[in-house]
Structure 1
Amino acid sequence: MTAEEDKDGMSNFRQLDDQGRTILYDTDCIPQISSDWFEMAFWQKNLALIGGAPGRGTSVFIQTPVGEAVWRHYHRGGLPGKFVRDCYFWNGLNNTRAWQEMHLTRELYDRGFPVPQPLAAAIQRQGWFYRADLITARIPDVVPLADLLLQADSTKLQSVLQQAGKMLQPFHAAGLNHVDLNPRNLLVNPETEQVWLIDFDRCQLSQEPESRLATQNIGRLQRAFIKLNPTQAKLWLQWFMEGYCNSGTATPFCKKN
């Protein structure tokens, strides 16, 4: 087992090699970690599996020594996922999906955006390929927006969707391109209506906002609305955009809508 400071110079990130895995973890949150944290048997043995989250990949809730967390194993989607379930082409550690998501999520977290706190990432390389995992702190008392869309009454939905739009717009104003914006990546506290954005796999943060990318993100969200309920999707998007374009940080994209 060997450890070294993360090469990006972030003093609270430490890199560790253990049992064939390279691990990046936040020492402010996790004093010690091992490859066992990325093995299902470890959490089962310690009776620390406390639930799961639906989605393309395998996300489970775990009770870690530092609190509840979400452990996600990276899985391919679409047509490639039918043939290669969870392997990615190796192109250097800093280019792996888990490393990039760990750093991007941390940057957004440090800038005060409503995102989960990243705790640890792991890479397991096998020749020209690798597998990856990410652990983030679990946000308490939240449900996916998708669940509320199917359950809540219209008055509640209008308010929640407006809050979701208000939450997202500053991300776009900061230059974020969220490539998988959908109602399962928007988490809502039903009581307070506070909204968080999650899952930054393959996302990018540029220096300036780009209306074209914001339009693509919201178009993806609209298609997800249609899949959930074609008859309500237009109204849901209208409520979402009401909050989005009245967030106080307008962009050229808002002026076109």
Structure 2
Amino acid sequence: MTQATKTINTTKFSKLEQGKVTCFFNQTLITDFSANMLSPNYWQQKDAITGSAQGRGTTWFVAYNDNNNIQHDWVLRHYYRGGLMGKINKDSYWFSGLESTRAACEFALLRHMQTLQLPAPEPVAYRVIQHGLSYKADLLSSRIQHAQDLVAVLSEKALAEDVWRRIGATIKRFHHHGIYHHDLNSHNILLDDKEQVFLIDFDRGELRTNPVKTGWKLENMARLQRSFLKELKKLEQFYFTEKNWQALLRGYQG
């Protein structure tokens, strides 16, 4: 049994309920958990925010020191709506049970991917706050160290063919295990300083185990290709060619 497997098997999760607030957290990582850890204000007061990124809302990068004074780098994300609906109702969702919330579903999927040792963030905690028949939610997950998304990387340099093949092979690993990524695009694929590949942001992702239905895999790949072409048109410098895409496909099909 590998050390990674041992760590996964000994991980303990706990539930915290305080009135309208329900949290679920990795007790192995956090021994002093509080619901406030799912709020940026908590980390601001501790001067523990190490950075941020802009998307539909602000994603916060935070640092947590455990009882052994070991620093853990995490990502704090609030769930926001996109599209036209997001302009009307930016972050409230219909509540039909805790396990059906966006946060609980993504957390569960991340936990499952950890058992498969897939290169994705580790789940740390989530929070759901009920407001009558609706809810708002937040998620804490591990930060991939020394990594940039493909848009940032390809804006600076071209990638070797073997890296493109490795990107394709990594996506294939997720698909092989039935992991559906709802928004597979060039922003949600990371490369670290050793050019290892990771996938992030599994909001609305699913575990799909029906071997007959494989169309979603082709749709995933088509979406990814469109995202590369979109960045190619938008950015003045973006190192992406049809040859790169074919190398990615070879890695995926290999």
Report the TM-score range of the alignment, normalised by the length of the smaller protein: 0.7 to 0.9
Query: Is the Cα–Cα contact under 8 Å of residues 20 and 130 in structure 2 kept in the other structure?
Result: yes
Query: Is the Cα–Cα contact under 8 Å of residues 180 and 216 in structure 2 kept in the other structure?
Result: yes
- The answer for unaligned runs of 5 or more in structure 1 is 1-9, 247-257
Query: Is the Cα–Cα contact under 8 Å of residues 61 and 73 in structure 2 kept in the other structure?
Result: yes
Q: Which has the higher contact order (CA 8 A, sep 6+)?
A: 2
**Mapped pair 1:141 → 2:142:** no
Query: In structure 1, how many angstroms separate the alpha carbons of the residues matched to 2:80 and 2:232?
Result: 26
Query: In structure 2, how many angstroms separate the alpha carbons of the residues matched to 1:157 and 1:86?
Result: 40
Q: What is the CA-CA distance between 1:20 and the residue it aligns to?
A: 3.8
Match of 1:192 among 191, 194, 199: 194
- 2:12 counterpart residue number: 12
Task: Tell me the amino acid that sits aligned with residue 189 of structure 2.
Answer: L
Query: In structure 2, how many angstroms separate the alpha carbons of the residues matched to 1:101 and 1:131?
Result: 14
Query: In structure 1, how many angstroms separate the alpha carbons of the residues matched to 2:157 and 2:11?
Result: 44
Match of 1:97 among 102, 116, 121: 102
Query: In structure 2, how many angstroms separate the alpha carbons of the residues matched to 1:22 and 1:37?
Result: 13
- 1:74 counterpart residue number: 79
Q: What stretches of structure 1 move > 6 A for 4+ residues in a row?
A: none
Per-residue CA shift, 1:115-170, capped at 9, x if unaligned?
Answer: 111000100110111101110111111111111121113xx253332211111101
Match of 1:123 among 124, 128, 131: 128
- 2:186 counterpart residue number: 183
TM-score normalised by the chain length of structure 1: 0.85
Query: Is the Cα–Cα contact under 8 Å of residues 122 and 133 in structure 1 kept in the other structure?
Result: yes
Q: What is the CA-CA distance between 1:103 and the residue it aligns to?
A: 0.6
Task: Decide which moves more: 143-152 or 232-241.
Answer: 232-241
Two-structure CA RMSD over aligned residues (Å): 1.9
Query: In structure 1, how many angstroms separate the alpha carbons of the residues matched to 2:200 and 2:210?
Result: 21
Q: Assess, with a 3 A threshold, how the Cα gap between structure 1 residues 243 and 130 changes in structure 2: closer, same or farther.
A: same
Task: Tell me the amino acid that sits aligned with residue 51 of structure 1.
Answer: G
**Mapped pair 1:150 → 2:155:** yes
Match of 1:243 among 239, 243, 251: 251
Number of residue pairs aligned between Structure 1 and Structure 2: 234
Q: Secondary structure at the match of 1:199?
A: coil
Match of 2:206 among 188, 204, 229: 204
**Mapped pair 1:224 → 2:227:** yes
Q: What is the CA-CA distance between 1:11 and the residue it aligns to?
A: 7.6
- 2:47 counterpart residue number: 47
Per-residue CA shift, 1:33-69, capped at 9, x if unaligned?
Answer: 1121122222111101110123233211001234110
Task: Tell me the amino acid that sits aligned with residue 37 of structure 1.
Answer: M
Per-residue CA shift, 1:192-238, capped at 9, x if unaligned?
Answer: 21001111111111224442000111111111111100494533322
Query: Is the Cα–Cα contact under 8 Å of residues 176 and 204 in structure 1 kept in the other structure?
Result: yes
Q: Secondary structure at the match of 1:79?
A: helix
Q: What is the CA-CA distance between 1:19 and the residue it aligns to?
A: 6.2
